[in-house]
Structure 1
Amino acid sequence: MKKLLISFWLVILVFTIGALFWYNQYRYSLPTPVPNGYKTVKSGTFIHLTSGLNLTGQKPVLLHFFNPDCPCSRFNLQHVKSLIKQYHNSVDFALVLVTAKPYTAQQIQDKFDLQIPVIADKTLATACGVYSTPQAVLLKANRQLYYRGNYNSSRYCTNKKTEYARMALENLLHGLPVLNNPLSTTAYGCRLANNNSTYAAQ
């Protein structure tokens, strides 16, 4: 009887874990709902960056919008690091922290082994048209918006054919037009904190 009971609870446990995994896979496969009051930011819009970033002003900039409490943000971090490693000589990178929790820049850099500037500027998400994480925003050297969108169609950024952020980087560096693919600009992932009813990056 005892073995039967243990077996029963093991089956329940395995089923529960499987159901939770399936639910998360399903949840994050759906587009992030567009917040009320959202306004599209057009390519070519000038984006003002805080002077605290200490960027050269001579290179394009990739802003990585990141929430350490968002599973999707954590899953794609290795991919972001691979982009930093490959393009750091041609592009300036910065992480924009969008979370309701009081993380410091140093905490994020230490915890995730990042050697790029980290800022918690709540206005940048709105300025760039970002309402979910993770998102990539690519600015030209003159700080005009070039690309705002996804890194990959895969949650783990493993699909080589849909590396949208990498494609955008390559296009910008080679003077080509921005990607024109609805899948690259339809937001997926976690909503920004406190923006369920109104568009506000808080």
Structure 2
Amino acid sequence: MLSDYKNSVHIVIDIETLGTRPGCPILSIGAVKMYNGILEWQQEFFASLGSNARLGLNEIGVETLRWWEEKHPEQFRRLQANSENRELSDALEDLNQFCNPIVQKTAPHYFWSKHPHFDFPILEAAYEAIGKPPPWKYWQIRDIATLEDKLFTTREPELNNHDALLDAINETNVLIDAVWGDKK
């Protein structure tokens, strides 16, 4: 029911990776927390390639690496610089802390991504590698791309540099449009 969504806590997550399957390195995680149609908090978490490799998450997709280097080389360099010496385990722990306060609220909570068959399985493999559960259950996962299809809209930025936090913010705005109208 729409009223259930209106009275729920929503976390929108987007990731930037070097592959498209579980086991690939995660470079950044963008997360936005929203309640009652209002963006409450946003944060971005970074992880180095070395920290991914130490956890066994080293299945780099050659096509994905080529795509980054050809289509978004500056953003790729920025991601590498921001993630230098940052541990993926710390990024995942920080994401859990980001999500944790919502567990205390009595309102239901949902976790969203543009393509949940991409973001969540990759993140779940990373959580498994550090021996911790993700902050969501399978039944809490929702899909932004379907909302875009239903609304015949997209909120892609004018210049999409594949920034996890900016993507999560744009996806949150799609959710706000779908559930609360144009409330920002």
TM-score by length of 1: 0.27
TM-score by length of 2: 0.29
Structure (1/2) with the larger strand percentage = 2
Mark the structure with the bigger radius of gyration.
1
